[in-house]
Amino acid sequence: MGAQEEAAKLKARGNKCFANHEWLDAIDYYTKAVDLYDQDPSFYCNRAQANIKLEQYGYAIADATKAIELDPKYTKAYYRRAVANGAILQSRQALKDFKAAVRLEPQNQDAKLKLAECEKMVKRIEFQRAIAVEDEPSAFEGLDIDSVAVEPDYDGARLAHEMTQDFIDDMITRFKNGKKLHRKYVYQIIAAVRKIVYQEPTMVEMEVQKGHKLTVCGDTHGQFFDLLEIFRLNGFPSESHYYLFNGDFVDRGSWSTEIALLLYAYKWLHPKAFFLNRGNHETDDMNRVYGFEGECKAKYTERVFKLFSESFSALPLATLIGKQYFTLHGGLFSDDKISLDDVRKLNRHKQRQPGQQGLMMEMLWTDPQPMPGRGPSKRGVGLQFGPDVTKRFCEANGLKAVIRSHEVRMEGYEVEHDGHCITVFSAPKYCDSTENKGAYINIGPDYKLEYHKFDAVPHPDIKPMAYAQNSLMSMMM
């Protein structure tokens, strides 16, 4: 059997893995096929789609580009490159590829639909840029919460001027039953927590006291019922059971407002025992594409989204646990000279959104890689850092490890870089399409790490991205 035939068999095995949502195994087979025979554009195009499923959009763009080089009339490759560019908000590049796909297949109705949606997205982004003002007034300006009346027939618990456990218990029940909070209480919760987190340092520094424990959770991405499963298995937050949620509370999953409000309510109830780090999805551009803005408008009001947006920009960017574990959403930096002191000094209030470069962007977006040094991002945003980078950072700052999130891990967590880099991800069966477990880490006063895995639980039949502004993103699900 020739190399081309053997490669085709490997591709077929990759396709089978893809059909079973085994994205990593699919990529492995496609890569083996490419290694045997590198002139078949479908090998690259199929690998691009698997990379899209893993949010490795930079890799997907490179694969689709190679497929196009081999076959300039390969419609599917243009289509997939467009999807990957759209996912990292490179809408103009996506628009060019959708146009190419329609030129090649004028009768392709799906491509024509996606082209029209992409055109709308580009116009919307340009309009938002045109009306943006540098010193936009606070969303809280003129918000008179006390004047908002709660109707007598509202069937939920009442909230006075302080958060209570009884109110949280009622909130959880309401959300499980598909009910909403009264907008007055939504305003109260966001306003109270924005004030608390604004006053916290950019890097919160905490200790785990004797008789206490800390649970570190990764991305929850709007998967409210899986968040409740963490609490069921591991215990609810209290003054002696600290929790740290390491960013990406919202977007993708269709219960993002429920998660954000519940986490905020616990932050208000236990301000010194409940910690929130900002993730790359606690940002305006991601929220507009991946569903949170649409969900806020659908369930509440546009003002609620603006209030959340302002509160997200006030969140700390990192938490230092017992002077041993530097915990942040993304990862490390493009410069070895960056230290914990640089993070301490970073004034996150000067820049509400992370932008395309700088410390904040890197803290929210970067990823580890197995090879030494630094490399281009597999996402197409930020960069990747190797085990030598992590080791130098830990040694220079007296750390045991960096704890981060930001990426699906099939077992819910992964220990990399000789134990110096730990990824924890807490959204099992991510987006209802990836067969991964979720995980969380318990840390006691001895600062030993205990890893716990858990499975997804059933949820009402509402699909991920139900509130996204268009169906472009549905191609990635």
What CATH number is attached to the domain comprising 472?
Answer: 3.60.21.10
Give yes or no: residues 182 and 251 share one domain: yes
CB 183 within 8 A of CB 300: yes
Q: What is the pLDDT of residue 126?
A: 78
Compute the distance between CA of residue 79 and CA of residue 82 in angstroms, rounded to an integer: 5
Q: Which of the pair, 133 or 399, is modelled with greater confidence?
A: 399
> What are the φ/ψ torsions at residue 199 (nearest 5 degrees)?
-85, -10
CA distance 162 to 146: 13
Using the 3D structure, point to which of 82, 100, 131 is the last residue of a domain. Answer: 131
- Domain membership of residue 28 (yes or no) is yes
Using alpha carbons, select from 409, 432, 379, 87 the residue that is nearest to residue 253: 432
Look at residue 475 and tell me whether its pLDDT is greater than 60. no
CATH classification of the domain holding 25: 1.25.40.10
Is residue 139, in this structure, part of any structural domain at all?
A: no
> Is residue 161 located within the same domain as residue 28?
no
Q: Classify residue 59: in a domain, yes or no.
A: yes
Sheet holding 367-368, edge to edge: 367-368, 383-385, 374-376
Same domain, 318 and 185: yes
Which pLDDT score is estimated for 161?
A: 93
Contact 291/465 with Cβ under 8 angstroms?
A: yes
Q: Are residues 159 and 82 in the same domain?
A: no
Shared-domain flag, residues 211 and 66: no
Q: What does the pLDDT read at residue 277?
A: 98
Please state whether 465 falls in left (phi above 0), alpha (psi between -120 and 50) or beta.
left
Query: What local confidence, expressed as pLDDT, does residue 189 receive?
Result: 98
Task: Identify the domain containing residue 377 by its residue range.
Answer: 145-476
Q: How far is CA 320 from the centre of its chain?
A: 21
pLDDT of residue 134: 63
- Both 97 and 213 in a single domain? no
pLDDT of residue 474: 52
In percent, how much of the chain has pLDDT > 90?
Answer: 87
Side chain identity at residue 428, one-letter code: P
Euclidean distance between CA atoms 226 and 247, whole angstroms:
16
Rounded average pLDDT over 247-265? 98
| 17-to-29, 45, 410, 437 alpha-carbon distances in Å | 9, 15, 14, 17
Residue 222 and residue 188 in contact, taking contact as beta carbons nearer than 8 Å: no
Q: Evaluate the CA torsion angle 363, 367, 370, 375 in order and state its sign.
A: negative
Burial of 25 (0-12, 13-18, 19+ CB in 10 A): middle
How far from the centroid of its chain's Cα atoms is residue 161's Cα? 32
What pLDDT score was predicted for residue 473? Answer: 56
Quick: pLDDT tens for 17-49: 999 999 999 999 999 999 999 999 999 999 999
140 belongs to a structural domain:
no
291, 414: one domain: yes
The pTM of the full predicted model, rounded to 2 decimals, is: 0.94
What is the mean pLDDT of the segment spanning 14-18?
97
Number of domains in the chain: 2
Q: Smallest Cα–Cα separation from 52: which of 90, 86, 17, 20?
A: 86
Kindly state whether residue 350 falls inside one of the protein's structural domains: yes
CB neighbours of 93 closer than 8 A, spacing ≥ 6? 81, 82, 85
Could you tell me the pLDDT band of residue 132, with boundaries at 50, 70 and 90?
low
**How far separated are the first and last CA of the chain, in Å rounded?**
37
Nearest Cα to Cα of residue 156 among 138, 133, 136, 172: 172
What value does the mean pLDDT take over residues 447-460?
98
Phi–psi pair at 264, nearest 5 degrees: -65, -40
Task: Say yes or no: 377 and 333 in one domain.
Answer: yes
What tens digit of pLDDT does each residue of 164-195 get?
999 999 999 999 999 999 999 999 999 999 99
Q: Which candidate in 241, 281, 406, 420 is catalytic?
A: 281
Q: Per-residue pLDDT tens for 334-373?
A: 999 999 999 999 999 998 899 888 999 999 999 999 999 9
Residue 417 lies in a domain: yes
Q: Is the pLDDT of residue 472 over 60?
A: no
Residue 258 has pLDDT above 90, yes or no: yes
- Position 122 scores a pLDDT of 84
State the pairing for strand pair 401-404/325-328: parallel
Question: What is the torsional sign of CA 169, 172, 178, 180?
Answer: positive
The predicted pLDDT at position 133 comes to 63
- Which domain-ending residue is among 105, 131, 157? 131
3-state secondary structure of 303: helix
Please give the single-letter amino acid code of residue 250: V
Question: Residue 244: phi, psi to the nearest 5?
Answer: -125, 120
Residue 319 above 70 pLDDT? yes
Asked whether residue 77 falls in the same domain as residue 158, the answer is no
- Looking at residue 15, what is its pLDDT? 97
pLDDT at 470: 61
- Mark whether 120 and 154 lie in a shared domain: no
Is position 166 within any domain? yes
Q: Are 114 and 98 in contact (CB under 8 A)?
A: yes
User: Which of the four pLDDT bands, split at 50, 70 and 90, describes residue 121?
Assistant: confident
Asked if residue 277 and residue 389 are part of one domain, the reply reads: yes
262, amino acid identity? L
Residue 390 in this model has a pLDDT that exceeds 70: yes
Annotation marks residue 281 as catalytic: yes
- Give the containing element (helix H, strand E) for 241: strand 241-246
**What integer pLDDT is reported at residue 471 of this predicted model?**
53
Same structural domain, 234 and 350: yes
Identify whether 415 is part of a domain: yes
**Cβ contact 406:331 at 8 Å:** yes
How high does pLDDT run on average in the chain? Answer: 95
Q: Which of 90, 109, 131 is the last residue of a domain?
A: 131
User: Which pLDDT value is given to residue 19?
Assistant: 95
Identify the three-state secondary structure at position 327.
strand
**Residue 127 pLDDT:** 77
Q: Cα separation of 354 and 279, whole Å?
A: 10
pLDDT bracket for residue 213 (50, 70, 90): very high
